[in-house]
Structure 1
Amino acid sequence: MIRTVLGDIRPQDLGVCDAHDHLFLRSRQLPGQELDDVAAARAELEAFRAVGGAAVVQWTPHGMGRRAADLAGLSRATGVHLICATGLHQAPHVAAESLAGLRGRLAEVFVAELTEGIGTTGVRAGLIKVAGGFHALDAHARWTMTAAAEAHHATGAPIAVHLELGTGALDVLDLLCGELDVPGNRVILGHLNRFPDPVTHRQAAASGCWLAFDGPSRAHHPTDWQMPAAVRSLAEGGFADRLLLGGDTVTAGARSVDGGPGMPYLLRRVRPRLEAELGPDLVARILTEHPGRAFSIDRA
């Protein structure tokens, strides 16, 4: 099943899915650029729906303004399935007092948000989002990933990992799948488009994990032109069934309704570009069948 903000649905009912994006996000690293406008979030979902989108996985975790209480209403109003995250990002993104309040009970919080709901909202999270560092895992990353693994083993929820500039994939897999016994197919690696190294990508894919290419280029990592070849290399290497696509809108100015590429860009521009590289049938599976498998939860 897929745990949406309106309840559990069958994977085959998810539809065309943006596998990594944000309707709401607040970070100490992005002052003045918060995603915190309900009307703009609704307009963005309507724009995504208008180009054929049916589902969005919001990777905004605990302590970053995910506004879980607003997600059910947005899903009903727009007809777009929404999946909400629990989890914890890198320490610089989260208020110090919020981090202090989680010491000694992080896995407990993750499990509660997956099974009982987020606060009093009645919304249950459908995935656990954590983050690595730049080419390494610091103590914070190991703490959050250890808690994520514990929550996964208790609930069956998938673990989605922010890779800093796309790096550190093999270190993440060594920890999660090696030391912490999380099955590879329960791990989703994000931002691989930002570090388009085909050797590393294939080594990571061999674990059985999901490989997410999510978001257009930004000023400090202009890699769009390399992304289609990286995806084709994985498909040719026998890993076509492990691919995911997302938009990763993280600032207000990046929304399509505010002049940026936003969620519709995934279907307006990325999809036809990849169809030319991979063929429409595979791209259709990447957008529909693959998210239904990657984000499934196998326990009530």
Structure 2
Amino acid sequence: MNAVVRTVLGDVPADTLGTVDAHDHLFLRSPMLPGQELDDPAAAEAELRAFAAAGGTTVVQWTPRGMGRRTADVVAASRATGVHVVMATGTHQAVHYTPPPTPAELDALAGTFIADLTSAPVRAGLVKVAGGFHGIDEHARRTMTAAAEAHHATGAAVAVHLELGTAPLEVLDLLCGTLGMPPTAVVLGHLGRCPDIRVQREAARTGAFLAFDGPSRAHHATDWRLFDQLAALADAGHAGQLLLGGDTTTAAARAVDGGPGMPYLLRVLRPRLTREFGEELADRVFVRNPARAFVLRRPGTDRGGAGGR
């Protein structure tokens, strides 16, 4: 069976994704970001057009359930611009919901995630969950358990928000140790917010994908550390696990509203990556690695080991 990625317009061969923004948001709302909602379909379409003009062909939207995914508008924007969009199901931290979900609701999430991935009118292509600060609280444990069950049933990747970049090893112990997921089906987000390269290398040795995603985040000093971290991980043999994303979460961060937005990845970061490390690594980070990270695996299989080379 040929490897495919599930987009909002249907499954596409993984090797046709092209240049990928591996973590971003077209639509998003949260009580933690009052007045900063991403909820304008015209602006979302304009951002996708700007990304396409810079050479981008696929965006992976990590917005989970209950945070304004606006699935119909995502479909319309993808169709209008020709940019592939891979949409998430999943659940964020409890603070992003009013009221927060109950334990009983959390325990029922696996079926909801599986339906979103397999039978919803607009199907998701990955599951997004979130850890806590330097640990995994009960909410995170329950949502990750549901996400792992959804992975085992569907083969979808699980993308993890690491709070301020912390607890990647604890997350991997739960998902891949206790819950039996292959590390190659896990994408660790926000690693750059906690630039502990020793922990990053330990996480990389498992085979998990490592997402560095922060150019739009003015309150996180991620950019100046980024290239040192990428160099350390590539030198350690993990170039095949690196991903880059913009993680645009507010209207002001969009390129169409004066921020860096999605195009920044290709206008600024990709040329720098090419100058410093060569085109081969840039092609891995933006093209080949995402095609492996977000592929739908056959349920119950682990395609490969560490995957670092």
Range class of TM-score, shorter chain: over 0.9
Note the C-alpha offset of 1:285: 1.8
Counterpart for residue 16 of structure 2: 13
Deviation, structure 1 residue 299:
4.2
Residue equivalent to 2:41: 38
Identity fraction in percent: 62
Q: What secondary structure sits across from 1:189 in the alignment?
A: strand
**Do the aligned partners of 1:63 and 1:98 also contact (CA within 8 Å) in 2?**
no
* SS state at 2:207 partner: coil
Number of the residue aligned with 1:224: 223
Deviations 1:43-89 (A, max 9, x none): 00000000000000000000000001112211110010000000000
2:107 maps to 1:104: yes
Name the structure 2 match of 1:167. Answer: 166
State the shift of 1:160 in Å.
0.1
The answer as to whether partners of 1:217 and 1:224 remain within 8 angstroms in 2 is no
Indicate the SS of the match to 2:244: strand
**Rounded Cα–Cα distance in structure 1 between residues aligned with 2:186 and 2:16:** 22
Deviation at 1:38, TM superposition (A): 0.1
Whether 2:225 is the aligned partner of 1:237: answer no
1:61 aligned to which of 61, 64, 73: 64
Corresponding residue of 2:283: 284
Between the aligned partners of 1:13 and 1:67, the Cα distance in structure 2 is: 25
Q: CA deviation at 1:217?
A: 6.3
1:203 corresponds in structure 2 to 202
Note the C-alpha offset of 1:161.
0.2
| Alignment match, 2:189 | 190
CA distance in 1: counterparts of 2:136 and 2:104, whole angstroms = 22
> Paired residue for 2:31, among 8, 28, 31?
28
State the one-letter code of the partner of 1:166.
G
RMSD, aligned α-carbons: 1.4
Q: Find the aligned partners of 1:160 and 1:182 in 2 and give their Cα distance.
A: 12
TM-score, reference length from structure 2: 0.93
User: Where has structure 1 moved over 2 Å in runs of 4 or more?
Assistant: 97-104, 217-221
**Structure-2 separation of matches of 1:59 and 1:103:** 19
**SS of alignment partner, residue 238 of structure 1:** coil
Cα shift readout 1:93-119 (whole Å, capped 9, x = no counterpart) = 1221665783431101000100011xx
What 5-or-longer segments of structure 2 have no aligned partner?
300-309
User: Residue 134 of structure 2 corresponds to which residue in structure 1?
Assistant: 135
User: Aligned residues, how many?
Assistant: 296
How many angstroms apart in 2 are the aligned matches of 1:91 and 1:3? 27
Does 2:86 correspond to 1:86?
Answer: no
Aligned match of 1:270? 269
- 1:217 and 1:223 in contact (8 A); partners too: no
SS in 1 for 2:60: strand
1:232/1:277 contact within 8 Å kept: no
Separation in 2, partners of 1:64, 1:145:
18
Whole-Å separation in 2 of the counterparts to 1:172 and 1:84 = 22
